[in-house]
Amino acid sequence: MKKSTAIITLVLIIALTLGIGYIDIKGTDAQGTASAKDISLGLDLAGGVSITYQVVGEENPDATDMADTIYKLQQRVEGYSTEAIVYQEGSNRINIEIPGVSDANAILQELGKPGQLYFIAQTDDEGNANYTWTGEGYVLNKSIEDLLADGSIKLQGTDVADARAVSSQDNLKNTQYAVALTMTDEGKQKFADATTRAYGKGETLAIYYDGTFVSVPSVSGALTTGEAQITGNFTYEEVEKLASTIRIGGLSLELEELHSKVVGAQLGQDAISTSLKAGLFGFIAVAIFMIAVYFMPGVCAVIALVAYIALIVLLLNGFDMTLTLAGIAGIILSVGMAVDANVVIFARIREEIAAGFSVDSAIKTGFNKALSAILDGNITTLIAAIVLWILGPGSVKGFAQTLVLGIVLSMFTALVVTRLLIRACYALGMTNPALYGKAKDRKAGNFLSKRGLFFGISCAIIVAGLVFMGVNKFALHRDELNYSLEFKGGTATTVDFDRAWTLDELTVDVEPEIQKVTGSNVQIQTVSGTNEVIFKTNSLDVETREALEHMFVSKFGIPASQITTETISSTISGEMKRDTIIAVVVAIVLMLIYIRIRFKDMRFGISSIIALAHDVLVVIAFYAAARVSVGNTFVACLLTIVGYSINATIVIFDRIRENSGIMIKSDLKEIVNKSITQTLSRSIFTSLTTFIMVAFLFGFGVSSIRDFALPLMVGIACGCYSSVCLAGALWYTFKVKFAGKKKA
């Protein structure tokens, strides 16, 4: 690279980084559009709209119907935000909370009032018309009860599996919009019978919802596959609305709106400001560490990390992603991976300099040799993130989206931005090897000789975790883990105060009093435009509810008539747990396949998964022993550890693969020990920098953030231990015990 090119490169990178940073802070206009403040935040960070529905005509609906309705509503509202939640309140109410929204009426109008959906034949079996055209619209000639009785209603909403807006082009390249219907297995035959009858009679088949004909399409043939399209001269907005209406009409129960309100953030402004402060101090600490350890390349890495942070803020806005505490976990993991990529590169450069190569050659070779480890580690984690994005439930999707974005950006900044910066600095005369450092020739540690001890320690910790869970369950008569209301459900206490309270005031003055009475963690939501506050706790018995009411009356002077309590269900449903498990299993299988293809040895993949499972089990053991609250960040915490663990392990396996081709005459044990030693500084430094980031989050955060950060710190330390002490030892054990056939 010429000096002129180097100067232009440096100026462009710094100018672009500062420009993007300016947009992140100030936005693109006076309103702050595209700035950090413009990022969509989840319920935990920003609040949103809360809508309560009540089942029509039933005080105690069937539990299966309620669960089915909640699950379908959850899928429906994820169209507004992947972080929207749906949960049961009392025996016959359903709450929907959608983040980043302040106009409840607009949501209600777009969502519609969930009601019953019917497919009605044009005539009954005696030839009488079931509906007629008045010139202004269709009207029913009979009541719904009569239509059900005489069999004129051929299908109901529960027979529809899905309805989606689709588009196609005709011969003139004009775009045509339609609604694609898919029936359930049971609805398939009903639909085939209904369309066969209608087609034979030349009749229509009306779709009737909530007292209105939403569509009266003609039938073009007997549709026996369970799939069909409703076509016409539609706009895209019209087919979207029709598809939405059909989907919401497929609920098992008929609902009516009881009330709606705008609720405040669960964590409050203080949580956001302290998280930003923690991130700033954590980044400064990491920057000092990188410069102190890696000298000039460390400076380049810090500039690249600043570019990474500026880009991720910009793209969170650009892709309209909703940021939650779980999303912050994904960003923390990707920051760790960005640092890791730089550490791997710089370690390689130092090795080349120590081997006697020139700085120029060391830079080129260092990047080339680090490439496979960086790509394999990041792609393996990326596979898991994409699967979780596609198959996972809403809260997991939010984590996966930010992780995918972070991984792609971290690879770009490490492999492109850092490389350009180092090449430019070299071209400008920074050629002294002392500016880059030199790897010390360390004697290979005998890690494998202690593998029995390492295996024993790990098994002991995992068994201890199981013992803690057993003691909690059978001796102390409480849950194995300290499940929060997101997993178990709980009690919502609504208090109408005599004045408006801020969330920070409530956290300081009211939350401790509630905890004294209930012994439970508390979620607080203010209601916009009122003095009402909702306090969500774990399930409370009658005696504790009365004690809580007495506390509000005696300490805060609230009349008992202004205090109401309701039992609420978990926000993480059984279906969401199932979807998460399926997504994780699919991700693990695909990671195994990728590792098998890249490393040509399934033992690498199996060892990686065992090390990964070890880290998860150790963290769960910590949850059990420390009684840290298991809330909606629990899944994000475990998934972060999974991504971190697999990435750390892949780096070591990449070195084992490389050394196996170089150290042909060496003993297998020597190869593994040398590979672990060569990557030891990388394992420690990467873990340390990520640990620093999370430690600041723990130190500055409010209680709910600490409950998230503390297990993550344990997981990071455990991930470092498992990659250094277990992963290579497991592969060596499998290699010796299950040696493949030798080639002739």
| Same domain flag for 441 and 508 | no
| Integer CA distances (angstroms), 224 to 179, 196, 203, 219, in order | 17, 8, 17, 12
Name the one residue in this structure whose structure tokens are 């991720």: 312
User: Per mean pLDDT, which range of 171-180, 183-192, 285-294, 621-630 is the poorest?
Assistant: 171-180
| Same domain flag for 281 and 394 | yes
CB 164 within 8 Å of CB 171: no
Each residue of 69-86: b (16+ CB within 10 Å) or e?
bbbbbbebbbebbbbbbb
Going 597 to 602 to 604 to 606, the CA torsion angle's sign is positive
Name the one residue in this structure whose structure tokens are 């009392």: 90
Check pLDDT > 70 for residue 740.
Answer: no
CB 514 within 8 Å of CB 525: no
Check pLDDT > 50 for residue 744.
Answer: no
| Same domain flag for 513 and 656 | no
At 386 the three-state DSSP class reads helix
Q: What is the DSSP letter of 502?
A: -
d(CA 191, CA 187) in angstroms, rounded, equals: 6
Q: How confident is the model at residue 469 (pLDDT cuts 50, 70, 90)?
A: very high
Task: Find the DSSP H helices in 267-324.
Answer: 268-318
Q: How confident is the model at residue 103 (pLDDT cuts 50, 70, 90)?
A: low
d(CA 443, CA 486) in angstroms, rounded, equals: 51
d(CA 376, CA 403) in angstroms, rounded, equals: 16
| Same domain flag for 223 and 294 | no
Starting from the edge strand earliest in sequence, which strands make up the sheet with 160-169, in order? Answer: 160-169, 175-183, 227-231
Task: Find the DSSP H helices in 428-483.
Answer: 451-470
Structural domain contains residue 34: no
Predicted local distance difference test score (pLDDT) of residue 358: 93
CB 122 within 8 Å of CB 206: yes
d(CA 104, CA 595) in angstroms, rounded, equals: 48
Check pLDDT > 90 for residue 743.
Answer: no
Q: Is 434 exposed, middle or buried (0-12, 13-18, 19+ CB in 10 A)?
A: exposed
For residue 131 the two structure tokens come to 């509906």
d(CA 384, CA 502) in angstroms, rounded, equals: 40
Give, for 209, the enclosing helix (H) or strand (E): strand 205-209
Structural domain contains residue 262: no
Dihedrals φ, ψ of 124, to 5°? -85, -175
Q: What is the CATH number of the domain that holds 91?
A: 3.30.70.3400
Predicted local distance difference test score (pLDDT) of residue 493: 92
| Same domain flag for 559 and 425 | no
Check pLDDT > 90 for residue 297.
Answer: yes
| Same domain flag for 128 and 108 | no
Structural domain contains residue 26: no
User: How much is the average pLDDT of 335-350?
Assistant: 86
Check pLDDT > 50 for residue 380.
Answer: yes
Name the one residue in this structure whose structure tokens are 């990520």: 690
For residue 565 the two structure tokens come to 């309590």
Predicted local distance difference test score (pLDDT) of residue 321: 79
User: How much is the average pLDDT of 156-170?
Assistant: 84
Structural domain contains residue 744: no
Check pLDDT > 90 for residue 607.
Answer: yes
Predicted local distance difference test score (pLDDT) of residue 111: 58
**CA angle (56, 145, 207) in 5-degree steps:** 80
Name the one residue in this structure whose structure tokens are 């920098």: 689
Structural domain contains residue 475: no
Check pLDDT > 80 for residue 470.
Answer: yes
Residues in the chain: 744
Q: Give the residue from 534, 568, 602 where a domain finishes.
A: 568
Tell me which residue range forms the domain holding 228.
117-250
Rg (CA), the chain: 30
| Integer CA distances (angstroms), 523 to 490, 512, 555, 577, 624, in order | 11, 12, 20, 22, 21
Average pLDDT, the chain: 85
| Same domain flag for 551 and 619 | no
- Which conformational region is residue 356 in: left (phi greater than 0), alpha (psi within -120 to 50 degrees), or beta? left
Q: How confident is the model at residue 200 (pLDDT cuts 50, 70, 90)?
A: very high
Name the one residue in this structure whose structure tokens are 């976990």: 329
| Same domain flag for 163 and 108 | no
Structural domain contains residue 699: yes
pTM: 0.74
Strand-pairing partners, residue 255, are: 55
CB 487 within 8 Å of CB 572: yes
Q: How do residues 256-286 score in pLDDT, each as one tens digit?
A: 777 777 776 666 556 667 777 777 888 888 8
Q: How do residues 501-545 score in pLDDT, each as one tens digit?
A: 887 788 889 989 999 999 887 888 888 888 999 998 888 889 999
Predicted local distance difference test score (pLDDT) of residue 243: 84
| Same domain flag for 413 and 497 | no
Q: How many domains does the chain have?
A: 4
List for the chain the helix, strand, coil content (%; round to 5): 60, 15, 25
Share of the chain above pLDDT 70, in %: 93
User: Per mean pLDDT, which range of 416-425, 582-591, 603-612, 716-725 is the poorest?
Assistant: 582-591
Structural domain contains residue 661: yes
Q: What is the CATH number of the domain that holds 233?
A: 3.30.1360.200
At 542 the three-state DSSP class reads helix
Predicted local distance difference test score (pLDDT) of residue 105: 65
| Same domain flag for 664 and 681 | yes
User: How much is the average pLDDT of 169-193?
Assistant: 87
Predicted local distance difference test score (pLDDT) of residue 373: 87
Q: Give the residue from 568, 599, 634 where a domain finishes.
A: 568
Structural domain contains residue 263: no
Predicted local distance difference test score (pLDDT) of residue 384: 85
| Same domain flag for 320 and 235 | no
User: Per mean pLDDT, which range of 72-86, 173-187, 443-457, 648-662 is the poorest?
Assistant: 72-86
| Same domain flag for 139 and 231 | yes
**Selection from 135, 130, 134 nearest residue 207 by Cα:** 130
Check pLDDT > 70 for residue 140.
Answer: yes
DSSP, residue by residue, 42-81: -HHHH-EEEEEEEETT-SS--HHHHHHHHHHHHHHHTTT-
Check pLDDT > 60 for residue 113.
Answer: no
Q: Give the residue from 540, 568, 596 where a domain finishes.
A: 568
CB 509 within 8 Å of CB 587: no
